[in-house]
Amino acid sequence: MAKLRLFANLRELAGVSRLDLPGSTVGEVMVEAKERFGPDFARGLATSRIWVNGEEADLASAVSASDEVVVLPPVSGGGQPTTLALSDVLGALPLVVALVAVLANTQSQPIWAAALVAMVAAWALDIASTFMARGRLFAPLPVVVTAAGAALLAHIMGGAGYGLTVPLAVAVGLGWAVAFSIYRQADVFSPTLMVSLLAGMGTASMVLSRSAFTPDPRAVDVFLVGVIAGVTLGALVLRLPPLPFLDPFSTTAISTVLAFVAAAVFWDLDVVNYLLVGLGVAVALVAGNGLSSMLRSGRVALTLRAPGALVGLDGVVLAAALYYPLASLVL
């Protein structure tokens, strides 16, 4: 017997989230699950990822009665198309975040800062859910506190506030670990600190890029156009059948740079400088794929989509963290 734990549409199809199933390997446990829960469950299982005791596993991996087998379907995977499942709602979250960012950018600076912190909160909770699926701990609240503090520091102190985000993230992370002993282990504290740093720097960078400290008042507008185009087209190519000379990484990078140039032309900005900034943002977005894989699945596998509803934000937050210093240097 092994302990099977189900998430998203597989949990809905099975009607349970946890159960014990017989089998000496992951494959045998999956066969038993398919026989119990039917063809719809089997189809969802075919595109799911499997972990045993927090480590990614394959069908040949051995299991015992003390092992926990976690099955996490892709966000867009699974269920019955005639019903609105949780996975369908989660699949629309990236579009919601993009819409919130665009609308908030048309509002006052306090609303823009509040929207940034809210988006960071959603991102941190999404990362926490992927950690939970692997049986690992992650603390999203320090990430949100760091982002809120970074927004305030950037608003009050300008560029100096951006620099102070680093000690702020460390202080918040250490304080949380002191207050709650379960978060003191290195495999819990380290990813929480890394995400807090990126969230804080990204929030401060976006606040500064739309303030009196920015070298160009259109900097955030161009950033949003570039990253939305790059992430959207890259995600689209990832879901298409393999095409020659076209992959998600090159699509993301090229479309981001072209979108930066197009936005600069549209708003009559310095095209050459925004081309250079776009190249930097494109590199950050592509590097975000490696960050996603390492952070969310525990290993670097660039050819596989990392789990999570807001996985596309990993590269965006990294790009946002670097955007203000890069724009200040180039523009």
Gap between the Cα atoms of 196 and 214, Å rounded? 23
Averaged pLDDT of the chain: 86
Percent of the chain exceeding pLDDT 90 equals 48
Percent of the chain exceeding pLDDT 70 equals 91
What is the β-pairing status of strands 18-21 and 55-56? unpaired
Measured at the CA of 301, the angle between CA 298 and CA 303, to 5 degrees, comes to 145
| Tens-digit pLDDT profile for residues 20-32 | 888 888 888 888 8
pLDDT of residue 58 exceeding 90, the answer is: no
Phi and psi torsions of 72, nearest 5°: -120, 110
Directed axis angle between helix 219-239 and helix 93-104, to 10°? 170
State the average pLDDT over residues 36-59.
83
State the average pLDDT over residues 61-78.
74
Lowest-confidence segment of 86-90, 206-210, 314-318 by average pLDDT: 86-90
What is the β-pairing status of strands 68-72 and 2-6? parallel
Q: What is the pLDDT of residue 164?
A: 95
Query: Scanning the structure block, which residue is given the tokens 């990126």?
Result: 198
What's the pTM?
Answer: 0.75
Measured at the CA of 148, the angle between CA 142 and CA 150, to 5 degrees, comes to 100
Q: Token pair of 139, please?
A: 């603390």
Domain 2-86, classified CATH 3.40.1710.10, yes or no: no
Q: What is the pLDDT of residue 184?
A: 86
Q: What is the pLDDT of residue 79?
A: 38
Query: Scanning the structure block, which residue is given the tokens 């609308």?
Result: 103
- Listed by start position, the domains of the chain span 2-86, 92-330
| Residue 47 CB neighbour total at 10 angstroms | 11
Separation in Å, CA 107 to CA 100, 111, 224, 263, 290:
11, 6, 15, 20, 33
pLDDT of residue 245 exceeding 80, the answer is: no
Cβ atoms 119, 150 nearer than 8 A: no
State the average pLDDT over residues 133-143.
87
State the average pLDDT over residues 286-292.
83
Gap between the Cα atoms of 209 and 128, Å rounded? 28
| Tens-digit pLDDT profile for residues 156-207 | 999 999 999 999 999 999 999 999 988 888 888 999 999 999 999 999 999 9
Cβ atoms 316, 119 nearer than 8 A: no
What is the β-pairing status of strands 49-52 and 68-72? antiparallel
Q: What is the pLDDT of residue 80?
A: 38
Q: What is the pLDDT of residue 109?
A: 94
| Residue 139 CB neighbour total at 10 angstroms | 25
Cβ atoms 146, 176 nearer than 8 A: no
- Band of the pLDDT at 293, cuts 50, 70, 90? confident
- Band of the pLDDT at 111, cuts 50, 70, 90? very high
Q: What is the pLDDT of residue 119?
A: 95
Q: What is the pLDDT of residue 274?
A: 96
Cβ atoms 276, 329 nearer than 8 A: no
